[in-house]
């Protein structure tokens, strides 16, 4: 069974959270999606990535949320959400999902 990349869930959490908030006009529901997705990602990545990397991803996710609000007046709501979702996915993949590379033997 293949593992779903944490980066995908992290990015989708931002996109789906915004979509839920926009579709329902209830921002708290979008926030609930963000909290649930963040919790899922944290639990999923805690053991393999460790606490420092997991907390770093959560901090980046919170910053992406804020930056999307700052960019929205300039880019539009959806483009800003999609942009920060891509950034969050890249950071999450780098810190959590990227396969470990074995150390090369010295020649």
The pLDDT, as a whole number, for residue 106 is: 57
Mean pLDDT of 42-46: 89
Structure tokens at 36: 């649930």
Tell me, yes or no, whether 105 lies in a domain: no
Residues 73 and 48: their CA atoms lie apart, in Å, by 38
In a domain, 1, yes or no: no
> Considering only CA atoms, which of 1, 72, 89, 78 is closest in space to residue 37?
89
Any domain includes 92: yes
Asked, for residue 69, whether it belongs to a domain, the answer is yes
Q: Tens digits of per-residue pLDDT, 97-107?
A: 988 776 665 55
Kindly state whether residue 104 falls inside one of the protein's structural domains: no
Range(s) of the domain holding residue 22: 6-97
Total of domains in the chain: 1
> Mean pLDDT across the stretch 33-53?
92
- Residue 2, classed as helix, strand or coil, is coil
**Phi and psi for 51 in degrees, rounded to 5?**
-65, -35
The confidence band for 6, taking pLDDT boundaries of 50, 70 and 90, is very high
Which pTM does this prediction carry? 0.88
Give 32's contacts (C-beta < 8 A, 6+ positions apart).
none
- Report if residue 106 sits inside a domain: no
Please, where are the H alpha helices in 1-107? 6-24, 27-49, 51-75, 77-92
The verdict on residue 107 lying in a domain is no
């Amino acid at each position: 069974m293949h593992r779903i990349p944490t980066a995908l869930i992290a990015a989708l959490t931002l996109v789906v959270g915004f979509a839920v908030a926009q579709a329902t006009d209830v921002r708290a529901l979008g926030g609930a999606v963000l909290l649930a997705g963040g919790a899922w990602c944290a639990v999923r990545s805690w053991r393999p990535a460790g606490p420092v990397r997991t907390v770093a991803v959560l901090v980046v996710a919170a910053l992406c949320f804020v930056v999307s609000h700052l960019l929205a007046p300039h880019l539009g709501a959806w483009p800003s959400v999609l942009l920060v979702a891509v950034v969050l996915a890249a950071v999450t993949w780098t810190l959590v999902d990227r396969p470990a590379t074995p150390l090369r033997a010295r020649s």
